Amino acid sequence: MRASILRSPSPLPGFGLSFGIMMAILSIVVLLPIGALLGRGLMIGPADLWDMVNSRRIWSALSLSFRAALIASLFNLAFGLILAWVLVRYRFWGRKLVDAAVDLPFALPTAVAGIALTALYAPNGVFGQVLAPLGIKVAYTELGIWMALIFIGLPFVVRTVQPVIEELEREVEEVSATLGARRAYTLRRVVLPTLAPAALTGFALALARSVGEYGSVIFIAGNIPNLTEIAPLLIVIRLEEYNYDAAAAIGIAMLLISFAMLLAINLVQIWSRRRIGLV
Amino acid sequence: MSDITLIRAESVTTEPRLVRGVVIATVLALIAVLLFAPLIAVFAEALRQGWAASLEAFASADAQSAIRLTLIVAAIAVPLNAVFGIAAAWAITKFDFRGKAFLITLIDLPFSVSPVVAGLALVLLFGVNSSLGAWLVANDLKIVFAFPGIVLATMFVTFPFVARELIPVMIEQGRAEEEVALTLGASGWRVFFTVTLPNIRWALLYGVLLCNARAMGEFGAVAVISGKIRGETTTMPIMIEMFYNEYLSVAAFSLAALLALLALVTLTLKSALEWRHADLLAATRRH
């Protein structure tokens, strides 16, 4: 029905104007700058780009950024699924407050989150003091980067999965139970596969956000080259040295790896959607 | 009899009581540690030396110019993104054209680009060693390390917010109402202001709210393009970093507390919109 409406030519006015405004702002703000970055890469040439990226410091930074983002997003995938389930299915005191608070990382500026987490996890901080005697150092180590990325990526999976859980039909779970499945088996084999595509969407969003995150990480990371120096920080350092080519090379490397990762997640998603179709 | 079956029906579609209790307790503990503790830490650190010291931090020229700059940048970037969002949603939902899906992907692109890479891209486009940048310098137009650059960087990182909120709502509403108004003789602008805008106002407000929160708090992209010229291109988040690195902890956390208050106001308004006008927001936000 909707498709047939969209296919017929629209009698409404304003296509030229709205399309023009959209393309003008999109070009100036997004397309031309990204084009300039990729163009710079083409001018440098693939061989020189590779030479610029191929140093121990840059590889450490890139692998740290992607590794920490992956670990934090995996935690947020698991925790987000459980949290969404708890918020939709369970009734308890403070549920609405928790539901509203989940979006805090979206609303709180990253630099604010960064200094707050550092204050908590520094050796003299509230959590740092407790962890220090146990031999656990969080601030100024890779663990601190994980904590920052867990914070900023927390809402994504919850918010993509929550509406799907709301629309689940309990009858399906009942059927599974009457057929003799235990609750854990129903959750694993009936509920989880239905939530998988939405959860993967949230995971991909969290991952994309975490890989490029800067503000919340640089305060808690300690920024030691080869150890706790993230890739975006390396770009900032190169820019401060006015070494635009080196900065562009790292930026392009980040873009390429991000897109490859998102593509891979998309493929997994298509696979998991097909799987529900079969279930 | 019905009571008994109800209780039984309930018990097979939920987890055992003990499991529920343990899961709820664990989730609440994690939320307290991961979300509430950092928020409380901001205010605790700001008030570490009392209210007077905290308020004094706002009296400094640095803090005041940072607050002013942040407000002005948001006052320009957010309305521009709202205009973009409305134009994009109108073109995409009211008309049919080729490459629509690709266009939506391009609008979403800023969400998967690091803010630092966004700043870098803007520096490469408008900086002195690009041909456009050289032309701008020759005509005395400064974008990089100046106010227009900060606005562009802020627009980049908040780009999809309004459009993403409006497009699903406007697809769901279709265009029948607009077509009726048009047949009744209303002009295009009148149709927009009296039919479309009232239909999308809550979704628009929702998008603007999120856009504004992110705009006032943006750090990475602004850090790259602003050049961090004290008193000139330092927005609130940049000023927080400067104070923090100068060991002016109370000043840094006081400015941070102001932004945290803004975040709390944003969350409150957002929740209020979700509870009152859930039916007029995008389907994905309904819960």
Q: How large is the ipTM? A: 0.90
**CA B44 – CA B49 distance, rounded (Å):** 10
Say if residue B117 is in the same domain as residue B229: yes
Q: Please name the residue ranges forming H helices in B127-231.
A: 131-138, 147-157, 160-173, 176-183, 188-191, 197-217, 220-226
Considering just the CA atoms, what is the radius of gyration of chain B in Å?
A: 24
> What pLDDT does residue A172 have?
87
Tally of CB atoms within 10 A around A2: 9
* Mean predicted confidence (pLDDT) in A225-245: 94
Are the C-beta atoms of B285 and A164 separated by less than 8 Å? no
How does pLDDT run across B130-142, given as a tens digit for each residue?
888 889 888 888 8
B94 → closest Cβ in A12, A31, A103: A12
Say if residue B163 is in the same domain as residue B176: yes
CA dihedral A149, A153, A158, A161 (to 10 degrees): -120
User: Per the structure, how many domains does chain B have?
Assistant: 2
Q: Who contacts A276 (Cβ-Cβ below 8 Å, separation ≥6)?
A: A193, A194, A196, A197
Q: Three-state DSSP class for A209?
A: helix
| A–B interface: beta-carbon pairs under 8 A | 292
Domains of chain A, residue spans = 18-52, 55-278
Evaluated on CA atoms B124, B126, B128, B131, the torsion sign reads positive
Q: How confident is the model at residue A8 (pLDDT cuts 50, 70, 90)?
A: low
Say if residue B105 is in the same domain as residue B82: yes
Entry pTM:
0.91
Which residues from B are below 8 Å from A236, CB to CB? 116, 223-224
> Do B87 and A166 count as a contact with CB atoms less than 8 A apart?
no
pLDDT at B287 over 60: no
Among 1.10.3720.10, 3.40.1190.10, 3.40.50.720, 2.40.480.10, name the CATH number for the domain at A55-278. Answer: 1.10.3720.10
* Mean predicted confidence (pLDDT) in B258-279: 91
Which residue is it, tokens 């779970």?
A173
Range of the domain at B135: 51-285
Say if residue B107 is in the same domain as residue B42: no
Candidates A6, A8, A18: best to mutate against B (most CBs of B within 10 A) is: A18
> What pLDDT does residue B156 have?
97
Final residue before a domain boundary, out of B9, B24, B46? B46
B286 → closest Cβ in A83, A107, A163: A163
Least confident residue range of A113-122, A263-272, B25-34, B246-255:
A263-272
* Mean predicted confidence (pLDDT) in A95-119: 95
Share of chain B above pLDDT 90, in %: 74
The full length of chain B comes to 287
Say if residue B7 is in the same domain as residue B91: no
How does pLDDT run across B25-84, given as a tens digit for each residue?
999 999 999 999 999 999 999 999 999 999 999 999 999 999 999 999 999 999 999 999
Final residue before a domain boundary, out of B15, B31, B46? B46
How does pLDDT run across B1-15, given as a tens digit for each residue?
445 555 554 577 788
B12 → closest Cβ in A9, A30, A174: A174
Shortest alpha-carbon distance between residue B179 and chain A (Å): 7
> What pLDDT does residue B14 have?
83
Higher-pLDDT residue of A172, B244: B244
Say if residue B79 is in the same domain as residue B42: no
Higher-pLDDT residue of B101, B27: B27
Say if residue B27 is in the same domain as residue B120: no
**Cα angle vertex B236, ends B233, B237, to 5°?**
100
Q: How confident is the model at residue A182 (pLDDT cuts 50, 70, 90)?
A: confident
Shortest alpha-carbon distance between residue A75 and chain B (Å): 12
B115 → closest Cβ in A14, A36, A214: A214
Higher-pLDDT residue of B99, A235: A235
Residue B249 belongs to domain with CATH number: 1.10.3720.10
Say if residue B15 is in the same domain as residue B56: no
Least confident residue range of A1-15, A236-250, B253-267:
A1-15
Candidates A23, A30, A245: best to mutate against B (most CBs of B within 10 A) is: A30
How does pLDDT run across B171-186, given as a tens digit for each residue?
988 889 999 999 999 9
Say if residue B220 is in the same domain as residue B160: yes
> Do A151 and B35 count as a contact with CB atoms less than 8 A apart?
yes
> What pLDDT does residue B10 have?
54
Q: How confident is the model at residue A270 (pLDDT cuts 50, 70, 90)?
A: confident
Say if residue B6 is in the same domain as residue B62: no
> Do A215 and B219 count as a contact with CB atoms less than 8 A apart?
yes
**CA A2 – CA B92 distance, rounded (Å):** 14
